């Protein structure tokens, strides 16, 4: 039996989710068209009703408490279920419509997914597609993501998994660079070369190589570092050094002879290797726009990836 007290709390619980996602009362208040003080009072009222402290408030930061995180996780389930109820009728529409948010690593977004965007949007003119470059871990529920593409050997077990293909990392350099500097025959020789790396973290210059039982972590260096795959590839093509790329990023350059693969017998280990996985939340009632996107990817993108792989 539905608790009548819960009915009164539902709007406040939904507002609580917005505050967490926005990270501040001010940002959430702007979206709702209310004042931050009014929103603060609403959260205080909710805390009293639930008998828990949801946030630690400071002058600079709003920090969710451990109890608040548990409430948030449960509220997400509630709000997502409500969203599905609102969208139930869309599954019967002949024309899929609405906003669809898709997240993918920058390299995959640029090299693989981007060419499929225009044909998809032309086929479904009522769908608004939002693409986000996301190279790190991303919470689909917290960031309102409908579909996430991941390059990983450890997909999220709480999400539906559609594996598109396997992906490998490729070490390569331009023929001109190799003619001038020589070709490394062993990973440890990379310390004698200019290497292009991401420079996102303090460990991005440490490259891991594995062959049978032999493992090496090689500290590389170079004059050029950039966390954008195409810019890094252009640097390698122009003789600035040796770089590591996903096979789908460098396959055309390899086929055209603009770069040469090195140390083929070695496996390059990274957080972003394994499978190209498409993941989304399990749901009994899938919006039409999500269903047609997933079907489109499996029909057009998956065969293309496996063909090139």
Could you tell me the residue ranges of all domains in the chain? 4-89, 96-167+274-307, 169-269
CA distance 6 to 294: 35
- Name the least confident of 24-33, 86-95, 148-157: 86-95
51 phi-psi bin (left φ>0, alpha ψ -120 to 50, beta other): left
- Name the least confident of 167-181, 241-255, 283-297: 283-297
Is the pLDDT reported for residue 265 higher than 60?
Answer: yes
Residue 242's pLDDT band (cuts 50, 70, 90): very high
**Chain centre distance of CA 162:** 15
pLDDT of residue 214: 94
Is the pLDDT reported for residue 300 higher than 90?
Answer: no
- CATH 3.40.50.170 holds for 4-89: no
Q: What is the CATH number of domain 96-167+274-307?
A: 3.40.190.10
Structure tokens belonging to residue 47:
């805390």
At 64, is the secondary structure helix, strand, or coil? strand
Q: What is the mean pLDDT of the chain?
A: 86
DSSP bridge partners of 148: 103, 279
At 244, is the secondary structure helix, strand, or coil? strand
Integer-rounded Cα Rg, in Å, for the chain is 24
The domain made up of 169-269 has a fold known as D-Maltodextrin-Binding Protein; domain 2 (3.40.190)
pLDDT of residue 89: 52
- The most confident of the ranges 60-64, 161-165, 175-179, 247-251 is 175-179
- Name the least confident of 153-162, 206-215, 291-300: 153-162
Q: How much is the average pLDDT of 69-74? A: 85
Q: How much is the average pLDDT of 41-57? A: 89
- Name the least confident of 44-53, 210-219, 238-247: 44-53
Residue 225's pLDDT band (cuts 50, 70, 90): very high
Q: Which of 139, 162, 159 is nearest to 21 (CA)?
A: 139
Tell me which of 288 and 60 has the higher pLDDT: 288
Pairing mode, if any, of strands 206-211 and 214-219? Answer: antiparallel
Digit-coded pLDDT (tens) for 135-184: 777 778 777 899 999 887 778 888 888 888 888 899 999 999 999 999 99
Q: What is the model's pTM?
A: 0.65
Check: CB of residue 252 under 8 Å from CB of residue 192: no
Identical topology for domains 4-89 and 169-269: no
Interior/surface letters 86-118, b for 16+ CB within 10 angstroms, e for the rest? ebeebeeeeebeeebbbbbbebbbbbbbeeeee
Query: For the chain, what percentages of helix, strand and coil (3-state, to nearest 5) are there?
Result: 45, 25, 30
pLDDT of residue 309: 46
């Amino acid at each position: 039996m539905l608790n009548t007290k819960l009915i009164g709390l539902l709007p406040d619980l939904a507002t609580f989710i917005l505050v967490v996602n926005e990270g501040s009362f001010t940002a959430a208040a702007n979206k709702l068209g209310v004042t931050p003080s009014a929103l603060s009072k609403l959260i205080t009222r909710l805390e009293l009703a639930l008998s828990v402290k949801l946030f630690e408030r400071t002058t600079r930061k709003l920090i969710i408490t451990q109890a608040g995180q548990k409430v948030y996780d449960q509220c997400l389930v509630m709000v997502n279920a409500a969203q599905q109820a609102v969208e139930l009728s869309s599954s019967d529409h002949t024309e899929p419509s609405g906003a669809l948010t898709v997240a993918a690593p920058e390299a995959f977004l640029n090299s693989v997914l981007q060419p499929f965007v225009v044909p998809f949007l032309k086929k479904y003119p009522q769908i608004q597609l939002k693409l986000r470059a996301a190279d790190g871990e991303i919470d689909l529920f917290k960031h309102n993501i409908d579909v996430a593409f991941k390059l990983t050997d450890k997909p999220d077990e709480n999400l539906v998994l559609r594996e598109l293909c396997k992906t490998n990392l490729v070490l390569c350099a331009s023929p001109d660079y190799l003619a001038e500097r020589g070709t490394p025959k062993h990973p440890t020789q990379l310390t004698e070369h200019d290497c292009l790396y991401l420079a996102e973290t303090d460990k991005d210059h440490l490259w891991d190589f594995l062959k049978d039982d032999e493992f090496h972590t090689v500290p590389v260096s170079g004059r050029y570092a950039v966390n954008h795959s195409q810019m890094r590839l252009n640097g390698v093509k122009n003789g600035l050094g040796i770089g590591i790329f996903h096979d789908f990023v460098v396959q055309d350059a390899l086929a055209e002879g603009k770069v040469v693969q090195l140390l083929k017998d070695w496996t390059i280990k990274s957080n972003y290797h394994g499978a190209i996985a498409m993941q989304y939340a399990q749901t009994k009632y899938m919006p039409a726009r999500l269903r047609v996107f997933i079907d489109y990817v499996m029909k057009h993108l998956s065969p293309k990836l496996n063909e090139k792989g």
